[in-house]
Structure 1
Amino acid sequence: MTTVTSPLAGRVIGLAAVPDPVFSGAMVGPGTAIDPVLEPTVAVAPVDGIVVSLHPHAFVVVDGEGHGVLTHLGIDTVQLGGEGFEVLINKGDTVRRGDPVVRWDPAAVVAAGKSPVCPVVALEATAESLVDVSADVDVKSGDTLFSWT
């Protein structure tokens, strides 16, 4: 079983509340989403593993069981061209849960007219394979979001 932890502090709102049909419809995969605290922060790795995809606005870490976890920092933030995001590691790096990945400012995302909501998605999973999915709670970076069986 893989425990997926929060990459940042905020309020867990669930995927259905994400203002993007690809995420809210769980087309990318099941999971949850966080409405982050609106202050400069660092998004951290939600699992131990290897960074297989890395962009200023999103990253994927694959754990030892082959479970890929996508963290997407805000909605439509790819349109910002990396502005306001600082990548702190490299694609291919091995990370431990809680290691810094991207420094960003959710308030700057809001100021740019984008949603700061952050989906955390279990790639290539089924909804039934996730247990104890958090919803409607405040989390700190590192708090458990869900377990993947």
Structure 2
Amino acid sequence: MTVVSSPLAGRVIGLDAVPDPVFSGEMVGPGTAVDPVREPGEAVSPVDGVVVSLHPHAFVVVDDEGHGVLTHLGIDTVQLNGEGFELLVAKGDTVGRGQPVVRWNPAAIEAGGKSPVCPVIALEAVGNSLGEIVRDGEVAAGDALFNWK
């Protein structure tokens, strides 16, 4: 079983509250979302694994069980073309849970007209493979969001 932890501190809001139908409709996969604290900081890896996809606004880490977890930093942030994001690892790197992956400032994203809400998605999860999912409350980076069987 994989424990998926929060990549950042903030308030968990659940996918249904994400202002993007692709995420709120779980088209990418099930999971939850974090409305981050509005201060400069780092998004950390939610699991131990290998970085298989890395963009300034999003990254995927796959663990030893083959579970891929997408962390998407903000909504429509791909339109920023990397501005405001600093990559701290490279694609192919092995990372540990809690290791910083991207440095960013959610307040700057919001000031630029984008939502800083961060979906955390279990890619290719099927059926009831996720245990209880946290959908509300305050979290610190590293707090458990859900279990993946």
* TM-score, normalized by the shorter chain, greater than 0.5: yes
1:97 maps to which residue?
Answer: 97
| Residue 139 (structure 2) pairs with residue 139 (structure 1) | yes
Alignment partner, residue 3 of structure 1: 3
Task: Give the gaps of 5 or more residues in structure 1.
Answer: none
Identity, in percent, stands at 75
Listed one character per residue, the Cα deviations across residues 50-102 of structure 1 (whole Å, up to 9, x for unaligned) are 00000000000000000000000000000011111000000000000000100
The CA RMSD over aligned residues, in Å, is 0.6
Q: Aligned partners of 1:20 and 1:126: how far apart in 2?
A: 21
Cα–Cα, structure 1 residues 108 and 3, in superposed 2: closer, same or farther, change >3 Å?
same
Determine the C-alpha separation between the residues in 2 that align with 1:124 and 1:12: 22
Residue of structure 1 equivalent to 2:128:
128
- Quote the Cα distance in structure 2 between the aligned partners of 1:74 and 1:136: 18
Matches within 5 A, 1:62-141: 62-126=62-126, 128-141=128-141
Amino acid at match of 2:109: V
Quick check: 1:30–1:127 contact (8 Å CA) kept in 2? no
Report how many aligned residue pairs link the two structures.
149
Deviation at 1:127, TM superposition (A): 5.0
Paired residue for 2:55? 55
Q: Verify the 8 A CA contact 1:87 1:103 in the aligned structure 2.
A: yes
Equivalent residues of 1:43, 1:102 under 8 A apart: yes
Question: Aligned partners of 1:136, 1:78: CA distance in 2, in Å?
Answer: 26
Q: Cα distance, 1:135 vs. partner?
A: 1.4
Structure 2 unmatched runs, 5+? none
